[in-house]
């Protein structure tokens, strides 16, 4: 086991009807900015629940944080916070709204000249406004971690940053808020959570039997419950299981003391930035291809995954069988696994590899994934 | 899944050599009281590592917190804190020292007339001094939770209390600090951690597939690695696995949204208070007897435990086979499972049941464990 540090002070308030408890979770007398996305929370009643729970508090709304939250949109919220002397931000939505909130609360307190430095890592976050979240989509895990991914469409960029200063103070997870999601969005969420686990699990093997089994617990549950959500979108147990899995997939626990990959995410981010692919779609596309290219390096863990999670019998190439079963799961969830499934031209292979090359990234748990290897991976994702 | 709230802000600093990082974890300029137990940290070098890591800080020691920390001892530490205007407590030791610290930091700030009210729950803790820990024994999980058990020998009492105000700010977990433990102490620690998991897992079944598997991950790892510690006490991987398992066994995660029992612990506490049994010993004694009495109520989970964790085949009474295998594991760890193994007279059956009756406790996940049932349980533990 590698040495590690684990810290996660997010208060999780989980279950039916929990939005009603909002008032006790927000500091007294705080002037609240409620941050929302494209409007779905207005249609499904979540916004009304939030408004009612805020009681006689003073609050206002900033709406329009888009999927893959954009720097320019977020900066408008920052301006509003400064203008109105907001004390507390409440993100109501999925991972994009919460990721946006993390950047916004940091940028609102940032004293340097260019807040983009927060995203690129040039600037260290010294302080941030407090914020909480009401989650409406099980997917990114942003509700219980200190990471965020911000896009800047004007620069074709999508980059992650992290800081302990941007942990949510609390996150309310009511599975009923996810009943009305379009099924493709639910499916992308399941795939996102599953790939978060695999990024931390399918690296090269290290002695960490507890972490392995904790990751396998998440994988088995996501693969068991995930497909049910397409058939029974209003089954409380299914929605609750998926929501709690997605949160724990990326709250830091299963990554303690082990090697982590994250190359699939970094390549996926570039595909999203360049071609507008949804995040979950980009992962379904990249992961199987990446695993095939890195099969020998990851063989021990792929075989363990095959045996313990997928229930495969020992025969032939177990690692390839595990990759094929993962790919089959993505398809079962209705996601494409080739560039052509999304109408993306094969030139994407070169475009994305070149971008990563230019950024000087070396990806993967061993930093072996370089430009040429990204080309090889995306070539596999463009094969028929 | 039941509704739940989860909050755990303890910073875990895990691994070889991590005690050296103490200085950055303690607030600047704090006057530190280092709290220790019976002296083992002086012999195994941990105290010297702590002293060196505290560098030029001002600190002093309070030693002598006993196993099952006593109210009267703790109150002496409280007096010292007030006298010397201590700002920060550093607990260096196992669960007893850390449990003691939790009471001490609360009592030091308590303004009521009788600090025992903190333990009985009569008084609500409003504030407490900050504290951190350097763990030297994998067992109780106290290093990453807000609970504490305090004994008061002058009253024959051993009672638990909990408050968010007494979370450690940080806990340093260096598996090497546990190399020199007597093997019986290590064994008791493994059993303690295992029973913590079983208290949260072997309750009546509820739909919570992730929590079930997370508990099973801990159980399988503890049962696999536990016996190795007796043979290879200086194997880093074994010590690290057990340490991380013990912490996660009682940091709140696996108890989220499920029913919890804890009757074994409450009965065990009384056995310790009345007969001086070590905590782990009391659990090894009570748990199998309790499971036999409550077998039908817990059958679904006992069978799942038998199949998934113990690898038992379906045949005959799977629930009884699972209990027998658990009892066999305790024996393998060198612990007794009957009153006579510890030289405790059979009258203990009545003594303990009467005490619990008198306290008016109704134990178990369904509050069905009353005085007569405790008698029945302990009668089973006194059978040959």
pLDDT at position A96 is: 97
Q: State the CATH number of the domain containing residue A223.
A: 1.20.1090.10
Q: Tell me how far apart the alpha carbons of residues B67 and B220 are, in angstroms, rounded to a whole number.
A: 28
Q: Are residues B216 and B263 in the same domain?
A: yes
A244 contact B CB<8A = yes
Mean predicted confidence (pLDDT) in A158-165: 95
Query: Which residues does chain B have within 8 Å of residue A12's beta carbon, measured at their own beta carbons?
Result: 4-7, 256
Find residue A159's DSSP bridge partners.
Answer: A150
Tell whether the model's pLDDT for residue B163 goes beyond 90: yes
Same domain, B18 and B160: yes
- Model pLDDT for residues B332-373, shown as the tens digit of each residue: 999 999 999 999 988 888 888 898 888 888 999 999 999 999
Residue A147's pLDDT is: 98
Any B CB within 8 A of A166 CB: no
Give B245's contacts in chain A (Cβ within 8 Å): 210
The residue in chain B having the minimum alpha-carbon distance to the alpha carbon of residue A225 is B209
Residue B153 resides in a domain: yes
Q: Which residues pair with B206 in a beta bridge?
A: none
Last residue of a domain, one of B157, B177, B197: B177
**Percent of chain B with pLDDT strictly greater than 90:** 91
Last residue of one domain, picked from the residues A130, A161, A177: A177
**Per-residue buried b or exposed e for A134-170, using 16+ beta carbons within 10 Å of the residue's own CB:** bbbbbbbbbbbbbbbbbbbeeeebbbebebebbbbbb
| Closest C-alpha among B379, B359, B381 to residue B370 | B359
Does residue A203 lie in a domain region?
Answer: yes
Range of the domain at B17: 11-177
Same domain, B117 and B187: no
Q: A207 and chain B: CB distance < 8 Å anywhere?
A: yes
Residue A71 and residue A43 share a domain: yes
pLDDT at position B212 over 90: yes
Contact at CB, A224 and B209, closer than 8 angstroms: yes
- Shared domain for B240 and B347, answered yes or no, is yes
In a domain, A3, yes or no: no
Write the CA distances from A50 to A173, B5, B232, B362, integer angstroms: 13, 18, 56, 39
**What percentage of chain B reaches a pLDDT higher than 70?**
100
pLDDT at A55 > cutoff 90: no
- Kindly state the average pLDDT of the residues A368-375: 93
Domain boundary among A177, A197, A216: A177
B128 and B242 fall within a common domain: no
B9/A9 CB distance under 8 A: yes
Contact A5 B12 (CB under 8 A): yes
* Cβ separation A11–B6 shorter than 8 A: yes
The span from the first CA to the last CA of chain B, in angstroms, equals 40
Map residue A294 onto helix, strand or coil: coil
Q: Is the pLDDT of residue B316 over 90?
A: yes
Handedness of CA B51, B138, A211, A144 (dihedral sign): negative
- Residue B4: inside a domain: no
Q: A186-240 pLDDT, tens per residue?
A: 999 999 999 999 999 999 889 999 999 999 999 999 999 999 999 999 999 999 9
Within 10 angstroms of residue A182's Cβ, the number of other Cβ atoms is 10
Q: Quick check: A253 and B253 CB within 8 A?
A: yes
Looking at residue B369, the DSSP 8-state letter turns out to be B
Q: Do B217 and A218 count as a contact with CB atoms less than 8 A apart?
A: no
Statement: residue B179 has pLDDT above 90: yes
Contacts of A17 in chain B (CB under 8 A): 3
B6 touches chain A (CB under 8 A): yes
Mutate to test the interface with B, among A17, A210, A255, A311 (most CBs of B within 10 A): A210
At A361 the pLDDT is 81
Residue B204: predicted pLDDT: 83
> For residue A249, what pLDDT is reported?
98
Assess if residue A335 is contained within a domain. yes
- Does residue A166 sit in the same domain as residue A230? no
Check pLDDT > 90 for residue B77.
yes
Q: Is residue B3 part of a domain?
A: no
The mean per-residue pLDDT over the stretch B248-261 comes to 98
DSSP state for residue A153 in the 8-state scheme? G
Name which of A3, A14, A256 is nearest B4 (Cβ-Cβ): A14
- C-beta of residue B48 within 8 angstroms of C-beta of residue B108: no
Q: In the predicted model, what is the mean pLDDT of residues A69-74?
A: 98
B213/A221 touch (CB, cutoff 8 Å), yes or no: yes
Model confidence band, residue B205 (pLDDT cutoffs 50, 70, 90): confident
Asked whether residue B141 falls in the same domain as residue B238, the answer is no
Mean pLDDT confidence for A97-114 = 97
pLDDT (average), residues B159-164:
96
Mean pLDDT within A286-291? 98
A243-265 residue pLDDT tens = 999 999 999 999 999 999 999 99
Question: Are residues A342 and A218 located together in one domain of the fold?
Answer: yes
pLDDT digits (tens, 9 = 90+) for B277-313: 999 999 999 999 999 999 999 999 999 999 999 999 9
pLDDT at B42 over 90: yes
Query: What digits encode the pLDDT tens for the residues A337-362?
Result: 999 999 998 888 888 889 888 888 89
Label residue B224 exposed, middle or buried (CB < 10 Å: 0-12, 13-18, 19+): middle
Please provide the average confidence, as pLDDT, over all residues in chain B: 96
Question: With 90 as the cut, is the pLDDT of residue B110 above it?
Answer: yes
- Does residue B157 lie in a domain region? yes
pLDDT at A281 over 90: yes
Is B1 a domain residue? no
Interface of B with A in 85-144 (CB under 8 A): none
Q: CATH no. for residue A32?
A: 3.40.50.1970
Mean pLDDT (whole number) for A281-300: 97
Residue A156's pLDDT band, with cuts at 50, 70 and 90, is confident
Q: Do residues B170 and B31 share a domain?
A: yes
C-alpha B89/C-alpha B30 separation (Å) is 9
Return mean pLDDT, chain A. 96
- Count of Cβ atoms closer than 10 Å to residue A257 Cβ: 20
The whole-number pLDDT of residue A349 equals 86
Number of domains composing chain A: 2
A90 and A226 share one domain: no
Please check whether residues A190 and A85 belong to one and the same domain.
Answer: no
């Amino acid at each position: 086991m590698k040495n590690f540090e684990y810290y996660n002070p997010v208060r999780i308030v989980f279950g039916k009807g929990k939005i009603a408890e909002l008032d006790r979770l927000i500091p007294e007398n705080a002037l609240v900015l409620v941050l929302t996305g494209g409007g779905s929370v207005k249609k499904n009643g979540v916004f009304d629940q939030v408004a009612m729970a805020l009681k006689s508090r003073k609050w206002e709304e900033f709406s329009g944080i888009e999927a893959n939250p954009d720097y320019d949109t977020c900066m408008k919220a920052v301006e509003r916070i400064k203008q109105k002397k907001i004390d507390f931000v409440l993100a109501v939505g999925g991972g994009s709204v919460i990721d946006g909130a993390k950047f916004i609360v940091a940028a609102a307190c940032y004293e340097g000249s260019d807040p983009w430095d927060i995203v690129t890592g040039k600037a260290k976050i010294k302080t941030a406004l407090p914020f909480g979240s009401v989650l409406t989509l099980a997917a990114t895990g942003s509700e219980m971690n200190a990471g965020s991914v911000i896009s800047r469409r004007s620069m074709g960029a999508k980059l992650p940053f992290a800081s302990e200063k941007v942990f949510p103070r609390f996150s309310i997870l009511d599975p009923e808020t996810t009943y009305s999601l379009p099924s493709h969005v639910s499916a992308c969420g399941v795939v996102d959570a599953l790939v978060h686990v695999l990024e931390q699990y399918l690296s090269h093997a290290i002695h960490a039997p507890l972490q392995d089994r904790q990751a396998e617990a998440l994988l088995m549950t996501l693969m068991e419950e995930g497909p049910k959500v397409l058939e029974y979108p209003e089954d409380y147990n299914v929605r609750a299981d998926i929501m709690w899995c997605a949160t724990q997939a990326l709250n830091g626990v299963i990554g303690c003391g082990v090697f982590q990959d994250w190359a699939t995410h970094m390549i996926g981010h570039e595909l999203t930035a360049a071609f507008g692919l949804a995040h979950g779609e980009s992962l379904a596309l990249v992961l199987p291809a990446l695993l095939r290219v890195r099969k020998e390096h990851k063989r021990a863990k792929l075989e363990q995954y095959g045996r313990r999670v997928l229930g495969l019998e020992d025969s032939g190439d177990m690692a390839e069988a595990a990759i094929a079963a993962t790919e089959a799961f993505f398809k079962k969830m209705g996601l494409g696994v080739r560039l052509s499934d999304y109408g993306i031209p094969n030139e994407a292979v070169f475009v994305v590899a070149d971008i990563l090359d230019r950024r000087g990234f070396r990806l993967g748990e061993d930093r072996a994934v370089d430009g040429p290897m990204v080309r090889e991976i995306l070539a596999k994702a463009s094969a028929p």
